[in-house]
Chains A and B, each alone.
Chain A
Amino acid sequence: MTDALRIAAKALGFALVLFLLLPFVALALTLSAGDYTAAVDRGLWEALLLSLGSTTIAAAVLVLSGTPLAWWLARRSGWLARRIEGLVRLPAVTPPAVAGVALLAAFGRAGLFGEALSEAGIGIPFTLAAVVLAQLFVAAPFFVLPVADAFREVDDELLWTARSLGTGPAAVFFRVVLPMSAPTFVGGLAMAWARALGEFGATLVFAGNLPGVTQTLPIAIYTEMEGDLGPARVMALVLLGFALLLFAALRTARVERVLGKRT
Chain B
Amino acid sequence: MLEARVTVRQGEFLLEAELTCRGTTVVMGPNGAGKSTLLRALLGAVRPEAGRIVYGREILFDDARAIDKPPEERGIAYVPQGYGLFPHLDVLDNVMFGIRRGRRQERIVHALSILEDLEVRELARRRPSELSGGEQQRVALARAVASSPRVLLLDEPLSALDQAARPRVRRFLADWLRGTRLRTVLVTHDASDARELADELVVLEGGQVVQRGTPDAIAFRPTTEFVAALTAGLIERDHRSVPPPGMLTEDE
Contacts and interface: CB of A to CB of B under 8 A. Distances in A.
B134 to A, nearest CB: 19
Contacts of B78: 160-161, 164
Interface string B128-163: 000000000000000110010100010000000000
Interface stretch (A36-44, A106-114, A175-183): A175-183
B72 A176 contact: no
A86 interface: no
B19 to A, nearest CB: 17
Contacts of A163: 44-45, 70-72
Contact of A165 (B45, B89, B143): B143
Nearest to B76: A164
Contact of B72 (A155, A158, A164): A164
Interface in A136-191: 155, 157-158, 160-169, 175-176, 179-180, 182
B71 A164 contact: yes
B43 A164 contact: yes
Interface centre among B71, B147, B149, B153 (most CB of A within 10 A): B71
B98 interface: yes
B88 interface: yes
A165 B88 contact: no
Contacts of B79: 161
A151 to B, nearest CB: 14
A168 B71 CA distance: 8
Interface string B73-88: 0101111111010111
A41 to B, nearest CB: 50
Contact of B86 (A158, A160, A164): A158
Given A160-B43, A164-B77, A260 B88 contact: yes
Nearest to A261: B93
A10 interface: no
A20 B181 CA distance: 67
Contacts of A85: none
B55 interface: no
Given A161-B78, A161-B80, A167 B72 contact: yes
Contacts of A164: 43-44, 71-72, 74, 76-78, 147, 149, 153
A262 interface: yes
A260 B72 CA distance: 21
A256 interface: yes
A84 B82 CA distance: 34
Contacts of B40: 160
Interface string B81-112: 11010111100010011101000000000000
B84 A167 contact: no
B93 A158 contact: no
Contact of B100 (A161, A166, A175, A182): A166
A96 B74 CA distance: 52
Given A157-B81, A180-B88, 6 more contacts: A160-B40, A164-B76, A164-B149, A168-B72, A176-B86, A260-B88
12 contacts: A157-B84, A160-B43, A160-B78, A161-B79, A164-B77, A166-B98, A176-B86, A179-B89, A180-B87, A180-B88, A182-B88, A262-B93
Q: Which 5 A-B pairs have the closest CB atoms?
A: A165-B98, A164-B78, A163-B71, A157-B80, A161-B84
